[in-house]
A and B are shown apart, each in its own frame.
Chain A
Protein backbone atom coordinates (compact mmCIF):
# COMPACT_ATOMS: atom_id res chain seq x y z
CA UNK A 1 0.00 0.00 0.00
CA UNK A 2 2.74 2.35 1.07
CA UNK A 3 4.71 1.35 -2.01
CA UNK A 4 1.82 1.99 -4.32
CA UNK A 5 1.28 5.45 -2.91
CA UNK A 6 4.94 6.23 -3.30
CA UNK A 7 5.00 4.95 -6.89
CA UNK A 8 1.99 7.06 -7.74
CA UNK A 9 3.61 10.14 -6.28
CA UNK A 10 6.80 9.36 -8.17
CA UNK A 11 4.99 8.89 -11.48
CA UNK A 12 3.19 12.19 -10.97
CA UNK A 13 6.51 13.86 -10.26
CA UNK A 14 8.12 12.35 -13.36
CA UNK A 15 5.28 13.32 -15.69
CA UNK A 16 5.43 16.86 -14.36
CA UNK A 17 9.17 17.01 -15.06
CA UNK A 18 9.11 15.52 -18.60
CA UNK A 19 9.48 18.38 -21.07
CA UNK A 20 6.18 18.88 -22.84
CA UNK A 21 6.44 19.06 -26.62
CA UNK A 22 3.52 20.87 -28.17
CA UNK A 23 2.40 18.48 -30.93
CA UNK A 24 1.64 20.86 -33.82
CA UNK A 25 4.86 22.91 -33.97
CA UNK A 26 6.99 19.78 -33.50
CA UNK A 27 5.09 17.91 -36.24
CA UNK A 28 5.49 20.90 -38.56
CA UNK A 29 9.22 21.20 -37.82
CA UNK A 30 9.79 17.46 -38.42
CA UNK A 31 7.86 17.76 -41.66
CA UNK A 32 9.84 20.58 -43.20
CA UNK A 33 13.29 19.63 -41.86
CA UNK A 34 12.77 16.02 -43.00
CA UNK A 35 11.52 17.29 -46.36
CA UNK A 36 14.54 19.55 -46.78
CA UNK A 37 16.96 16.70 -45.95
CA UNK A 38 15.28 14.61 -48.66
CA UNK A 39 15.50 17.57 -51.08
CA UNK A 40 19.24 17.83 -50.39
CA UNK A 41 19.52 14.08 -51.08
CA UNK A 42 17.66 14.47 -54.38
CA UNK A 43 19.92 17.38 -55.31
CA UNK A 44 23.08 15.37 -54.58
CA UNK A 45 21.69 12.41 -56.55
CA UNK A 46 20.88 14.64 -59.56
CA UNK A 47 24.36 16.18 -59.48
CA UNK A 48 25.99 12.71 -59.45
CA UNK A 49 23.83 11.62 -62.39
CA UNK A 50 24.79 14.83 -64.23
CA UNK A 51 28.53 14.25 -63.70
CA UNK A 52 28.44 10.47 -64.29
CA UNK A 53 25.58 9.83 -66.75
CA UNK A 54 26.35 6.09 -66.91
CA UNK A 55 25.55 5.42 -63.24
CA UNK A 56 22.82 2.88 -62.60
CA UNK A 57 19.99 4.05 -60.37
CA UNK A 58 21.10 1.82 -57.51
CA UNK A 59 24.74 2.95 -57.62
CA UNK A 60 23.55 6.56 -57.74
CA UNK A 61 21.50 6.13 -54.58
CA UNK A 62 24.38 4.35 -52.82
CA UNK A 63 26.70 7.29 -53.58
CA UNK A 64 24.04 9.77 -52.47
CA UNK A 65 23.41 7.97 -49.18
CA UNK A 66 27.15 7.67 -48.47
CA UNK A 67 27.51 11.43 -49.08
CA UNK A 68 24.60 12.20 -46.70
CA UNK A 69 26.07 9.84 -44.10
CA UNK A 70 29.40 11.67 -44.36
CA UNK A 71 27.76 15.10 -43.98
CA UNK A 72 25.69 13.96 -40.98
CA UNK A 73 28.71 12.35 -39.27
CA UNK A 74 30.68 15.59 -39.74
CA UNK A 75 27.83 17.77 -38.47
CA UNK A 76 27.54 15.45 -35.46
CA UNK A 77 31.28 15.83 -34.85
CA UNK A 78 31.11 19.62 -34.73
CA UNK A 79 27.95 19.45 -32.59
CA UNK A 80 25.52 20.94 -35.11
CA UNK A 81 23.40 17.85 -35.77
CA UNK A 82 22.29 17.55 -32.15
CA UNK A 83 21.01 21.13 -32.35
CA UNK A 84 19.01 20.23 -35.47
CA UNK A 85 17.76 17.14 -33.63
CA UNK A 86 16.53 19.17 -30.69
CA UNK A 87 14.56 21.38 -33.07
CA UNK A 88 13.30 18.81 -35.59
CA UNK A 89 12.81 15.56 -33.63
CA UNK A 90 11.58 12.91 -36.07
CA UNK A 91 12.69 15.05 -39.02
CA UNK A 92 16.31 14.41 -38.03
CA UNK A 93 15.93 10.79 -36.85
CA UNK A 94 14.04 9.12 -39.70
CA UNK A 95 16.31 10.11 -42.66
CA UNK A 96 19.55 8.12 -43.20
CA UNK A 97 21.36 11.11 -41.66
CA UNK A 98 19.72 10.15 -38.34
CA UNK A 99 21.16 6.63 -38.67
CA UNK A 100 24.60 8.16 -39.22
CA UNK A 101 24.09 10.48 -36.24
CA UNK A 102 23.00 7.53 -34.05
CA UNK A 103 26.38 5.86 -34.72
CA UNK A 104 28.65 8.92 -34.55
CA UNK A 105 27.05 10.56 -31.54
CA UNK A 106 27.65 7.78 -28.94
CA UNK A 107 31.13 7.10 -30.41
CA UNK A 108 32.17 10.66 -29.65
CA UNK A 109 30.36 10.81 -26.32
CA UNK A 110 32.06 7.66 -24.97
CA UNK A 111 35.47 8.39 -26.49
CA UNK A 112 36.82 9.02 -22.98
CA UNK A 113 36.25 5.33 -22.09
CA UNK A 114 38.85 4.30 -24.65
CA UNK A 115 38.90 3.30 -28.29
CA UNK A 116 37.78 -0.32 -27.86
CA UNK A 117 35.32 -0.10 -24.96
CA UNK A 118 34.32 3.50 -25.64
CA UNK A 119 34.13 4.20 -29.35
CA UNK A 120 33.83 0.72 -30.85
CA UNK A 121 31.39 -0.78 -28.35
CA UNK A 122 29.10 2.22 -27.84
CA UNK A 123 28.98 2.86 -31.61
CA UNK A 124 26.30 0.17 -31.98
CA UNK A 125 23.98 1.06 -29.10
CA UNK A 126 21.31 2.26 -31.55
CA UNK A 127 22.65 1.03 -34.90
CA UNK A 128 23.04 -2.53 -33.56
CA UNK A 129 19.31 -3.26 -33.23
CA UNK A 130 18.66 -1.57 -36.60
CA UNK A 131 21.21 -3.79 -38.36
CA UNK A 132 20.08 -6.94 -36.50
CA UNK A 133 16.40 -6.45 -37.35
CA UNK A 134 17.21 -5.31 -40.89
CA UNK A 135 19.48 -8.26 -41.71
CA UNK A 136 17.26 -10.84 -39.98
CA UNK A 137 14.12 -9.63 -41.79
CA UNK A 138 15.95 -9.53 -45.13
CA UNK A 139 16.94 -13.18 -44.54
CA UNK A 140 13.29 -14.03 -43.91
CA UNK A 141 12.32 -12.32 -47.17
CA UNK A 142 15.14 -14.13 -49.01
CA UNK A 143 14.07 -17.47 -47.52
CA UNK A 144 10.45 -16.94 -48.59
CA UNK A 145 11.55 -16.08 -52.14
CA UNK A 146 13.84 -19.10 -52.23
CA UNK A 147 10.97 -21.40 -51.16
CA UNK A 148 8.66 -19.81 -53.75
CA UNK A 149 11.34 -20.23 -56.44
CA UNK A 150 11.42 -24.01 -55.76
CA UNK A 151 7.94 -24.47 -57.19
Chain B
Protein backbone atom coordinates (compact mmCIF):
# COMPACT_ATOMS: atom_id res chain seq x y z
CA UNK B 1 0.00 0.00 0.00
CA UNK B 2 2.81 2.35 0.96
CA UNK B 3 4.61 1.75 -2.34
CA UNK B 4 1.39 2.55 -4.24
CA UNK B 5 1.08 5.88 -2.40
CA UNK B 6 4.78 6.65 -3.03
CA UNK B 7 4.39 6.04 -6.76
CA UNK B 8 1.21 8.13 -6.83
CA UNK B 9 3.12 11.09 -5.34
CA UNK B 10 5.96 10.58 -7.84
CA UNK B 11 3.46 10.65 -10.72
CA UNK B 12 1.49 13.65 -9.44
CA UNK B 13 4.47 15.87 -8.53
CA UNK B 14 6.49 14.88 -11.62
CA UNK B 15 3.48 15.51 -13.84
CA UNK B 16 2.77 18.83 -12.16
CA UNK B 17 6.36 20.07 -12.65
CA UNK B 18 6.21 19.14 -16.35
CA UNK B 19 2.77 20.75 -16.74
CA UNK B 20 4.17 23.99 -15.28
CA UNK B 21 6.88 23.83 -17.95
CA UNK B 22 4.27 23.32 -20.66
CA UNK B 23 2.19 26.20 -19.25
CA UNK B 24 5.26 28.47 -19.56
CA UNK B 25 5.72 27.33 -23.17
CA UNK B 26 2.09 27.99 -24.11
CA UNK B 27 1.74 31.35 -22.39
CA UNK B 28 5.11 32.91 -23.24
CA UNK B 29 6.36 30.99 -26.32
CA UNK B 30 9.60 30.45 -24.39
CA UNK B 31 12.27 28.25 -26.05
CA UNK B 32 13.24 24.88 -24.58
CA UNK B 33 16.74 26.14 -23.68
CA UNK B 34 15.15 28.84 -21.50
CA UNK B 35 12.76 26.32 -19.92
CA UNK B 36 15.71 24.12 -18.94
CA UNK B 37 17.74 27.09 -17.61
CA UNK B 38 14.74 28.35 -15.61
CA UNK B 39 14.09 24.97 -13.98
CA UNK B 40 17.78 24.46 -13.16
CA UNK B 41 17.84 27.86 -11.44
CA UNK B 42 14.67 26.96 -9.51
CA UNK B 43 16.42 23.77 -8.35
CA UNK B 44 19.54 25.68 -7.25
CA UNK B 45 17.33 28.12 -5.33
CA UNK B 46 15.24 25.39 -3.64
CA UNK B 47 18.40 23.60 -2.49
CA UNK B 48 20.11 26.81 -1.35
CA UNK B 49 17.21 27.77 0.93
CA UNK B 50 16.91 24.16 2.16
CA UNK B 51 13.45 23.40 0.76
CA UNK B 52 14.51 20.75 -1.77
CA UNK B 53 15.11 17.93 0.72
CA UNK B 54 11.61 18.34 2.19
CA UNK B 55 10.03 18.06 -1.27
CA UNK B 56 12.38 15.21 -2.25
CA UNK B 57 11.35 13.22 0.85
CA UNK B 58 7.84 12.59 -0.44
CA UNK B 59 8.12 13.46 -4.15
CA UNK B 60 11.24 11.27 -4.73
CA UNK B 61 11.69 10.82 -8.50
CA UNK B 62 8.89 13.34 -9.07
CA UNK B 63 11.33 16.15 -8.25
CA UNK B 64 14.69 14.39 -8.82
CA UNK B 65 14.02 13.30 -12.41
CA UNK B 66 12.91 16.75 -13.65
CA UNK B 67 15.90 19.00 -14.37
CA UNK B 68 15.10 20.78 -11.06
CA UNK B 69 16.94 17.88 -9.39
CA UNK B 70 20.02 18.61 -11.52
CA UNK B 71 20.05 22.20 -10.23
CA UNK B 72 19.58 20.99 -6.68
CA UNK B 73 22.55 18.62 -6.85
CA UNK B 74 24.71 21.44 -8.28
CA UNK B 75 23.88 23.59 -5.25
CA UNK B 76 24.10 20.68 -2.81
CA UNK B 77 27.55 19.80 -4.19
CA UNK B 78 28.76 23.39 -3.82
CA UNK B 79 27.48 23.67 -0.24
CA UNK B 80 28.92 20.28 0.75
CA UNK B 81 32.32 21.00 -0.80
CA UNK B 82 32.53 24.39 0.93
CA UNK B 83 31.86 22.63 4.24
CA UNK B 84 34.68 20.09 3.71
CA UNK B 85 37.22 21.94 1.52
CA UNK B 86 36.51 25.58 2.34
CA UNK B 87 37.10 28.20 -0.36
CA UNK B 88 38.14 25.69 -3.06
CA UNK B 89 34.74 24.04 -2.73
CA UNK B 90 33.08 27.03 -4.44
CA UNK B 91 34.79 25.90 -7.65
CA UNK B 92 34.83 22.12 -7.31
CA UNK B 93 31.50 21.35 -5.62
CA UNK B 94 28.89 21.91 -8.33
CA UNK B 95 30.49 20.02 -11.19
CA UNK B 96 31.76 17.21 -8.95
CA UNK B 97 28.23 16.44 -7.79
CA UNK B 98 26.80 16.46 -11.33
CA UNK B 99 29.80 14.96 -13.14
CA UNK B 100 28.05 11.62 -13.70
CA UNK B 101 25.04 13.12 -15.44
CA UNK B 102 27.00 15.59 -17.57
CA UNK B 103 29.58 13.00 -18.65
CA UNK B 104 26.82 10.49 -19.47
CA UNK B 105 24.88 13.05 -21.51
CA UNK B 106 27.98 14.11 -23.48
CA UNK B 107 29.40 10.60 -23.89
CA UNK B 108 26.19 8.91 -25.01
CA UNK B 109 25.30 11.83 -27.30
CA UNK B 110 28.71 11.52 -28.98
CA UNK B 111 28.39 7.74 -29.29
CA UNK B 112 24.88 7.79 -30.77
CA UNK B 113 25.71 10.72 -33.06
CA UNK B 114 28.49 8.57 -34.53
CA UNK B 115 26.16 5.56 -34.92
CA UNK B 116 22.83 7.02 -36.08
CA UNK B 117 21.89 9.16 -39.04
CA UNK B 118 19.61 12.19 -38.87
CA UNK B 119 15.89 11.53 -39.27
CA UNK B 120 14.51 14.15 -41.59
CA UNK B 121 11.91 16.18 -39.73
CA UNK B 122 8.46 16.12 -41.26
Interface residues of A (CB under 8 A from B): 21, 23, 26-27, 30-39, 41-42, 45, 58, 61-66, 68-70, 73-74, 76-79, 82, 88-91, 93-100, 102-104, 107-109, 111-112, 115, 119-120, 123, 125-127, 129-131, 133-135, 137-139, 141-146, 149
Contact = CB atoms under 8 A, between A and B. Distances in A.
Contacts of B36: 93-94, 98-99, 102, 126, 129-130
A30 B90 CA distance: 36
Contact of B14 (A37, A141, A146): A37
A100 B12 CA distance: 23
Interface string B94-117: 110010111011101111111111
Sorting the interface of chain B by its residue count into under 10, 10 to 19, 20 to 34 or 35 or more gives 35 or more
A63 B116 CA distance: 25
Given A66-B100, A77-B115, A96-B66, A38 B109 contact: no
A119 B110 contact: yes
The secondary-structure label for the interface of chain A is helix
A82 B118 CA distance: 12
B11 A38 contact: yes
Given A34-B14, A35-B11, A90-B21, 4 more contacts: A41-B14, A95-B66, A129-B33, A133-B40
